[in-house]
Copies of this chain bind each other. A is one copy, B any other.
Amino acid sequence: MTLTQRKQPGLDETVGPCAPPKPVPRPDGQDRYTISEVAAHTGLSVHTLRWYERIGLMPTIDRSHTGQRRYTNRDLAWLSFVGKLRLTGMAVADMVRYADLVRQGDHTFAERRALLLATRESVLRRIGELQDTLTVLDFKIDFYADAPSASERL
Which residues does A use to contact B, with CB under 8 Å?
1, 3-4, 81, 84-85, 87-91, 106-110, 112-113, 116-117, 119-120, 122-127, 129-134, 136-138, 140-141, 144-145, 147-152
Contact = CB atoms under 8 A, between A and B. Distances in A.
Contacts of A152: 109-110
Nearest to A117: B141
A134 B89 CA distance: 12
Nearest to A113: B144
Contact of A110 (B84, B116, B124, B149): B149
**Main SS of chain A's interface residues?**
helix
B148 A120 contact: no
A3 to B, nearest CB: 8
A137 B119 contact: yes
B127 A141 contact: no
Contacts of A108: 149
Contacts of A120: 134, 137-138, 141
